Chain A
């Protein structure tokens, strides 16, 4: 099988080819390495590659298969990880200068689960430094470019993870989502991206940005692949106290069964000002699709929606200011050469090692927690967060899922928002409240603008009911398959 045909396939298809003996895991790995060689100079999704290790894992997979010891459907399938997820013996930079020399001595729980499933772990994917940003422009190692238009951002912070799938540099990738960092780049790159319910996927080994909001989740061309990857990485982890003890159903099996049409809610606050017309048109078409399938569509209100961005920026920055304190130039992080005393080691190492956005958020977060300000900012934000969650709880008494656009606009040009933090923060306006409420959310490609930029549809589900959410998304994706379209990256 030629390599172009291999890299255009979904993970589920590749798994079938391996099963049928039509190709080897090593051939798949080589096909992806060739594609990375071909296009990553333009896209820059990868921060680090270890081709020998990648091919060795693929070879191991082939040997298992020959002996009839295959570990499951992901055995031999490449999966690449955002550079905040630990893999033993591999670098973890979080796209920050301060971690430029750090190599992780241990596997994240998701990494361990992927290895146990036989997945072939590939290179490290670019992001906004410490997952802070919506464009991947905040990477200390240069931005990732949107494969659909190299002049535009891929979204962020998991821009490397979304661009790699869009550019067919990997069939599956993992990202992390704190306020939209999986769904927004999935939308901007025309791939499927999902943030699971908070507590569904272990955070052990994920370099934390905001602990109460972060979740790891999959990227893929199709909802079917997302289900396959999600069921592999989900489940209770005794190493993460916030991981929820619940049974993980086989999502990919569930998708094979027939799903009865149900009720979708349209929150009026998400369909107001600020939405690009082409985005609106594409989302309305998706709504028509669901109506045609027999779904009931109802209007609803989430009145606290406008509070989600301020609440998010108080809570996420407060947690970040504390989570990032460990990067101090003392042990494994880079120490400033200009440091002359203990205070210097902290101040100068952090001053030189962190980028502007990270510093801005650490300072903002520390301020919100300071004595005399705590009640007015952090405590009040936590109380408001409860109101936001209650809004969703009320909505879910009437509907099975909420349907919105993922991002108010398609991919924007480099520099368009990077000088104005507030406008950048607003690009997450549709995704942030999902994290604050701890709910699962998914972005599925729902069309293109006239100039050929992808548009994403967001579906938000009930807590720990990934099954329904995936089934609803699959009803759409199975027929329309916008994520199967690949950008043209030829010169």
Chain B
């Protein structure tokens, strides 16, 4: 007989808030600046330096709380988490211990559907709390020495703690993806994991199916990418399952995911865990949050990505696949909505945005040295231009094929569709006489196809259409060609 095991996981997600200045001082935040240039007496923990709270960070945290349906605290306070580590200049971290800024809340996730074109099941993952703290610096280890860069130290960092409410690696992946989309959409953080703007620790435990108490918890660290998180927890579930099947014990410990070796190794045991000696920071006052302030922030909360997706499907009849590509990206959605408003058919607008615009954007990013240089917000092709192009097709002024060819040039040069069509003489040809003579020539050149069609083979007409289109470089109005061929062939 063999026991079946089930997994229970919780995630601690750290998000760097996109604020102008650091959590407790005026110095700016940023990534990629020369080491130790974003510092001042407060960041460096010089004797006598004192922290002063950043209001923007509190406001952004309240925004996250509202976005995720948390209870916003009436009063939150600051505590010191004491431990020695060279990345932390004061050797304590200002954090929130027992009075966090947000409690409760949930993250809606979508599990994989049966196929990529089918919407998967949705579920809500419960949150425990969200608290605000200051980030630490970055250590780089060399053979003998280690160097530390305090540019990141003191940046506002939000810790979002989930309940043990995740049960499969797919759910973990879906949770992180959804959370990330929501936070980016609301302008909380760019959430770039490579830049450390979003970091994740996972608590993984397993237990026999049918039992209700949680198994021994193992904390995984160094999960630096969303797929790394998934791989890390997958490995850890296998490791723990195998251990239990072999009659071994799981130890409460912290383990490090090694992405090169694709395995986890022990960092420290429960006995080695720090006693952080939390106590209220006497340099800072508790924060009383005015409910009127919360109400004002609530008005700025953008539509949640999943709500938007549901609206696009219900109100605009967009296919699931298009909404899935759009809805994680708020600027892209804004682009789409502007385009759709200027055209008749939102589905067509969505298809152009999801297929053609995204392709050109990704190509432009590959071609450009500066990867952050181009975005949907600053691309040379505004929504009005795309709408113009779509409308030219609708009005039978250009063919779809010509439009597809024009798009990359419009994207690259910023020229309008109308200009390019005129410049290149690409208007669709609907002139009856010219098309009739071309159709007659096509039938003459390919009597075989003509015979087959006459004999009832409907598909044979396509070869004839193709040669007419070829002769007009795609500019012939396909509907006129079709009608003309049928008329000539039936006579």
Which positions in A face B, CB cutoff 8 Å?
84-86, 92, 94, 99, 102, 104-106, 108, 203-208, 210-212, 238-242, 318-319, 321-322, 325-326, 328, 330-332, 342, 346, 366, 369-371, 374, 378
Does B284 reach chain A (CB closer than 8 Å)? yes
Once the chains bind, are A378 and B279 in contact (CB under 8 Å)?
yes
| A204 cross-chain contacts in B, Cβ below 8 A | 48-50
* Contact A241/B53 with A330-B86, A369-B279, A374-B279 known, Cβ cut-off 8 Å: yes
B46 within 8 Å of A (CB atoms):
yes
B279 near A105 with CB under 8 A, answer no
The interface residues of chain B lying within 8 Å CB-to-CB of A318 are 279
Given A325-B84, A330-B86, A203–B50 Cβ distance below 8 Å? yes
SS class of chain B's interface: helix, strand, loop or mixed? loop
Q: With A and B bound together, what is the CA distance between A211 and B47 in angstroms?
A: 12
| Cβ–Cβ < 8 Å partners of A330 in chain B | 86, 148
Is A242 a contact partner of B46 (Cβ separation < 8 A)? Answer: no
Q: Evaluate whether A326 and B89 lie within 8 angstroms (CB atoms) in the complex, with A241-B51, A346-B84 already known.
A: yes
A94 in contact with B92 (CB, 8 Å): no
Interface centre among B44, B48, B285 (most CB of A within 10 A): B48
1/0 per residue, CB under 8 A from A, across B384-414: the answer is 0000000000000000000000000000000
- Judged by a CB distance under 8 angstroms, whether B138 is at the interface is no
**B80 and A238 within 8 A (CB):** no
Q: B40-80 vs A: 1/0 string, CB under 8 Å? A: 01001111111111000000000000000000000000001
Q: Which of these, B41, B50, B146, contacts A105 with CB under 8 Å? A: B41
Contact call B46/A332, Cβ cutoff below 8 A: yes
Taken residue by residue from 20 to 55, chain B's Cβ proximity to chain A (1 for < 8 Å, 0 otherwise) reads as: 000000000000000000000100111111111100
CB distance from B37 to the nearest CB of A (A): 14
Knowing that A104-B46, A242-B282, A370-B275 are A-B contacts, what are 5 other residue pairs whose CB atoms are under 8 Å apart, sorted by A's residue number?
Answer: A204-B49, A210-B282, A211-B282, A241-B283, A331-B44
CB distance from B69 to the nearest CB of A (A): 31
Query: Taking the complex as formed, is B472 at the interface, i.e. its CB lies under 8 A from any CB of chain A?
Result: no
* B48 & A326 in contact (Cβ 8 Å cutoff): no
Chain B residues with Cβ under 8 A from A105's Cβ?
41, 46
How far in angstroms is the closest Cβ of chain B from A273? 33
B57 nearest CB across to chain A (Å) = 14
CB distance from B25 to the nearest CB of A (A): 9
Question: Residue of B at shortest CB range from A369?
Answer: B277
Q: Across the two chains, which residue of chain A brings its CB closest to B91?
A: A325
Known: A332-B46, A342-B86. A106 touches B279 (CB 8 A): no
Complex CA–CA separation, A346 to B282 (angstroms): 24
How far, in angstroms, from A210 to B283 measured CA to CA in the complex?
A: 10
For B48, give its contact among A208, A342, A370 (CB under 8 Å): A208
Chain A hits for B256, CB < 8 A = none
Q: How far apart are the CA atoms of A370 and B277 in the complex, in Å?
A: 5
How far is it, in angstroms, between the C-alpha of A242 and the C-alpha of B51 when the chains are bound? 10
Q: Is B90 an interface residue (CB 8 A)?
A: yes
Residue of B nearest to A238 (CB): B52
Q: Are B285 and A242 in contact (CB under 8 A)?
A: yes
Q: A211 touching B283 by the CB < 8 A rule?
A: yes
Q: How far is the CA of A468 from the CA of B49 in the complex (A)?
A: 32
Please tell me if the beta carbons of B284 and A241 are within 8 angstroms of each other in the complex.
yes
User: Is A239 in contact with B91, judged by CB distance below 8 angstroms?
Assistant: no
- Residues from chain B with a CB closer than 8 A to the CB of A321 are 82, 277
CB distance from B339 to the nearest CB of A (A): 47
Q: Please, how many angstroms separate the alpha-carbon atoms of A378 and B47 in the complex?
A: 24
Q: Which residues B102-121 have CB closer than 8 A to chain A?
A: none
- Encoded as 1 (CB less than 8 Å from any A CB) or 0, chain B from 262 to 289 comes to 0000000000000101110011110000
Is there contact, CB below 8 Å, between B47 and A94?
A: yes
Closest 3 CB pairs of A and B: A325-B91, A207-B47, A211-B282
Q: A371, B47: Cβ atoms under 8 Å?
A: no
How far, in angstroms, from A331 to B80 measured CA to CA in the complex?
Answer: 21
A113 to chain B, nearest CB (A): 15
Pairs across A and B, CB under 8 Å, 26 listed: A85-B48, A86-B47, A102-B47, A104-B47, A105-B46, A203-B48, A203-B50, A205-B48, A207-B47, A211-B283, A241-B52, A241-B53, A241-B284, A242-B282, A319-B282, A325-B82, A325-B84, A326-B45, A328-B91, A330-B148, A331-B89, A332-B46, A342-B146, A370-B275, A374-B278, A374-B279
